[in-house]
Structure 1
Amino acid sequence: MAFFAYLITDGSYACTTPGAFAKHLGELFAAQKIDYALYRDKSNPDYERFASVFVDECHMHGIKAMLHRDAALAVALGADGVHLTSTQFDAVAGAKAQGLFTVVSTHSAVEAMHAAAEGADAITYSPIFESPGKGAPKGLEDLNETAGKIDLPVIALGGIVSPAQISAVHAAGAAGFASIRYFINSAKESFCSK
């Protein structure tokens, strides 16, 4: 698997209407090299409707669409995969049985090995660099050691906002990088106006 880019959304990607969301996603996807994208917005009460728009926009741009936590919704909306939290190890087998590419969030080597044992397709490992509210960074050496302990792709996450950091995690053994801020910071304009 080639080194890949994984966009993760949060509240900073929020738009007031699905139409505005689709427009801004389309612009972002056209301007960036993105292989996978995760729709993650815990505060959106209309998550399902916006998730449907997200999946459609991803597919129009050749991007693998991932949904957060909910394998059943991912299947219903035709998403390519699901990104499970570090409390959902027991959901890996069910997600895989439904044909979903299954990523698990991990924050320690023990969690990474647990995800691998459960049959996950990949993990995110975080935080690698300083990231607001995410605790002490793991650092590149820890990333390298963890990637060497498991036989599945490790996606570096946390505080990755520059090309230099992307190169550093690649050199440390990550199969890809994930970020929220990198993709918005790299765009010429902000996402949706509040």
Structure 2
Amino acid sequence: MKHYLITDPSFYGNMPEALEASLDVIYSHTLPDFALFRDKQTTHYRDLAQTFVSVSRSYRISRVLLHGDYILAHELGADGVHFTSTQFDEITEAKALGLYVVISTHTYEEALKAQDLGADAITYSPIFASPNKGEPKGLEDLKEIVDKISIPIFALGGITTDEQINAVEKCGVFGFASIRYFI
């Protein structure tokens, strides 16, 4: 099962040096298969994204992704982009640039739409309780989506323990994504 690290500035800082130091600590303990730079607050996104791509490449992370900005992902040499559930219309453009595309989904209809538009993978969330993310979907709902959708699915939302990872793995997901599990 694939491991997908997602950054958050409250744990990684909002300056390139702090981000690099945080990534060095985390990557020295665990190397995820996928890593996403996500910071919705900074005014220095390009500089931080460049640091993230550079550090992640030095640790040979298999898939290095940026959040939401497929043009910047392409310019900085990231492997791909992770879109929000409001960016379905950008999938085609990102794929045309050769990027690996993950998109956030929260319903079966969104998951099916992502698949039909050619996304490479989806996150489906929230599976467990997660701060400010609404009512958890739960494992039964996750299993239903896995059985209906053919593209890779990352379980996301409130995954912080090995027991939760084992539970989502039993549902047949491609992997899990988390912020807090990796810190």
TM range (shorter): over 0.9
How far does residue 62 in structure 1 lie from its aligned partner after superposition?
1.2
State the alpha-carbon separation in 1 of the partners of residues 120 and 110 from structure 2. Answer: 14
Deviations, residues 66-97 of structure 1 (Å, cap 9, x unaligned): 00000000001000110001111111111111
Deviation at 1:110, TM superposition (A): 0.6
Per the alignment, residue 113 of structure 1 pairs with: 112
- CA separation in 2, counterparts of 1:169 and 1:176? 8
CA RMSD across the alignment: 1.0
Query: How do 1:74-113 residues align onto structure 2 when only pairs under 5 Å count?
Result: 74-113=73-112
> How far has the Cα of 1:16 moved from its partner?
5.0
Where do 5+ consecutive residues of structure 1 fail to align? 185-194
TM-score by length of 1: 0.91
Task: Note if contact 2:12-2:22 (Cα within 8 Å) is conserved in structure 1.
Answer: no
Conserved? CA contact 2:102–2:120, under 8 Å:
yes
SS of match in other structure, 2:65: strand
SS of residue in 2 equivalent to 1:141 = helix
TM-score between both structures, scaled by the size of structure 2? 0.96
Question: Aligned-pair distance for 1:12?
Answer: 1.6
CA-to-aligned-CA distance 1:95-145 (integer Å, 9 cap, x gap)? 111011100000011100000000000000000001111111101111011
Rounded to whole Å, the distance in 1 between the matches of 2:19 and 2:135 is 33
Q: 1:50 aligns with which of 41, 48, 51?
A: 48
- Counterpart CA distance in 2 for 1:114 and 1:98 is 20
Output one character per residue of 1:138-167: Cα deviation in whole Å (capped at 9) or x when no partner.
Answer: 011110110111111000000000000001
Q: Distance in 2 between matches of 1:87 and 1:171?
A: 29
Distance 2:147 2:133 in 1: 23
Amino acid in the other structure paired with 2:89: D
Q: What does residue 70 of structure 1 align with?
A: 69
Gap change, CA 1:115 and 1:16, over 3 Å in 2? closer
The residue that corresponds to 2:5 in the other structure is: 7
Paired amino acid for 2:113: H
Partner of 2:132: 133
Q: Which runs of 4+ in 1 moved over 6 A?
A: none
Unaligned regions of 5+ residues in structure 2, if any?
none
Letter in 1 for 2:8: D
